[in-house]
A and B are shown apart, each in its own frame.
Chain A
Amino acid sequence: MADFVMEARHVYKTYGRKNAKKTKQANGDTSDGAKHVVEAVKDVSLQIKKGDIKLIFGPSGSGKSTFLRCLAMLDIPDKGEIYLGDECLTKPGVDLNKARARIGFVFQHIYLFRHLTALGNVELALRQVLKLPKEEARKRALAALAEVKVTDCANKFPAQMSGGQAQRVGIARALARNPDIILLDEPTSALDPELTGEVIDTLRDLAREGTTMLIVSHEMPFARDVAEEMIFYDEGRIVETGPPSQFFNAPNTDRAKQFMTRIINRTTRE
């Protein structure tokens, strides 16, 4: 029996290494080539137990999305291991589709299937992945839409919904399969400020129900209320980990201190 729902052990992900090598060979300019290498994830380890709610935050471009994509194996890590329960996903020969069916993913830029209605978006995996019969898939999809309060959008296409509605459909799509964990990548950052509230409320509901979640977010009041642990991520690494109280009162590291000051000033000014 695994202790963790999901675990990352010493994960690394670098972008552009191959390109950099090519540039090096092509014009012999090593330093120029090296600049193209982005080390988005450097030796990151993380454990999530059932019912945990953890929150990752940190500067733009620090590699948070990349790390989340690695956890779901949407990007394959260069090094390190990802575990889902006691299955190691980074071993060769693992059925990644099966593994991803047990992971919910909510994207920063929503990424709904554009040619399908809200209902169709949620139904598709229920039919194709879980192989549910038509009626049951429909029932479960409608239940998922109701859970995030977008039943009235069931027959709308993504382009016909507001950003907040679309993102809640995105959450319903991730939820409907009853995944072991949901990974949410800045679910509100692409939304207008007045629409973030409705998505945050949805996430608070999920938190109350004990959904296991790893959320990238900078919504600080939300973080303080629901996160058991906050993880400050910068330049591809976890810099500091602790309960919200630690970050809101006195972060241990200077970098976290500076970042918290900046972000709290920004929120109060708005």
Chain B
Amino acid sequence: MFEFLLNPIYQMWIVQGLLLTVEITLFGVLLGLGLGTLLAIADIYGNRPIKVAIAVYVEFFRGSPLFVQLFLAVYTVPAILNIQIDHLFLAFLVFGLNSAAYQKGYMKGSMETILDDQMQAGLSVGMSKIQTLRHVILPQAYRIVIPSWTNEFCSLTKSTATLAFVGFRDLVGAGRSILINNMQIIPVWLVIAAIYLAWISGFSKLMDIIYEKKKIPGIELLMQ
């Protein structure tokens, strides 16, 4: 049943697919975190035009399917601009931009629960707004946001199958390719699912440990 696993070519597809899935999600989730943080700050402190621009950005990336965004980035935008950009690079970028749209919401939410009093406290000791954001607000917001961030990671991992639309083979793509030559539908998908499960649950477990370790004492009271 599982003898396809012994085929070196299939092995290579699976490993490459897994690597692509892992790389693009880690990159996406990290770019999303950085950009999402900036967007959250801009949304809190920005003027009306900035807030509107951010809302449009977020609605676009949350409101349209990921494969449409990938398609636009890889085929339409370069054609309109008449430039050549590496497709894989564009795909990575789309994952980051997409994730930023979600993570902006998580970051803004967690910043807002602490902003009022902690910003006043920071200013009262002579720090600037930026210093307070950097040394007080963000360190707390990042600790609070870890669970949402873990969810975002899981859902991004499972969206990498959309890469097939622009010609890249992630883990699901590897499964499909194997099935073209090998009709063991259930065993192939079982293996693919098991790999996903191991990677996602391993990573989530790691984040849980970090969350517990870094948790601000007494923060549960604040979150109620």
Contact = CB atoms under 8 A, between A and B. Distances in A.
Interface residues of A, number: 28
**A107, A115, A157 — which one has the most chain B CB atoms within 10 A of its CB?**
A115
**A98, A109, A124 — which one has the most chain B CB atoms within 10 A of its CB?**
A124
B125 A101 contact: yes
A131 to B, nearest CB: 11
B121 A115 contact: no
Contacts, number: 79
Nearest to A98: B126
A100 B125 contact: yes
Contacts of B123: 74, 97, 100
A107 B122 CA distance: 12
Interface in B104-122: 114, 117-118, 120-122
A190 to B, nearest CB: 12
Interface stretch (B13-21, B51-59, B132-140, B161-169): B132-140
A155 to B, nearest CB: 12
A83 interface: no
Contacts of B121: 107, 111-113
A115 B140 contact: yes
Nearest to A97: B128
B124 A128 contact: no
Contact of B126 (A101, A109, A113, A158): A101
B131 interface: yes
B216 interface: yes
Interface residues of B, number: 24
Nearest to A111: B121
Contact of A124 (B125, B216, B219): B125
Interface string A132-160: 00000000000000000000000001111
**A100, A114, A129 — which one has the most chain B CB atoms within 10 A of its CB?**
A114
A146 B48 CA distance: 48
A125 B127 contact: yes
Given A111-B120, A115-B140, A125 B126 contact: yes
10 contacts: A97-B123, A97-B128, A100-B123, A105-B125, A114-B217, A124-B125, A124-B135, A129-B126, A129-B127, A173-B125
Interface of B: 114, 117-118, 120-128, 131, 135-136, 139-140, 143, 216-219, 221-222
Top 9 closest A-B pairs, CB basis? A159-B218, A101-B126, A125-B125, A105-B124, A129-B126, A111-B121, A157-B217, A159-B217, A111-B117
Given A124-B127, A159-B218, A174-B125, 19 more contacts: A74-B123, A74-B124, A100-B123, A100-B125, A107-B117, A109-B117, A111-B118, A111-B121, A113-B136, A115-B140, A124-B136, A128-B127, A129-B126, A129-B127, A157-B216, A158-B217, A159-B219, A159-B221, A160-B218
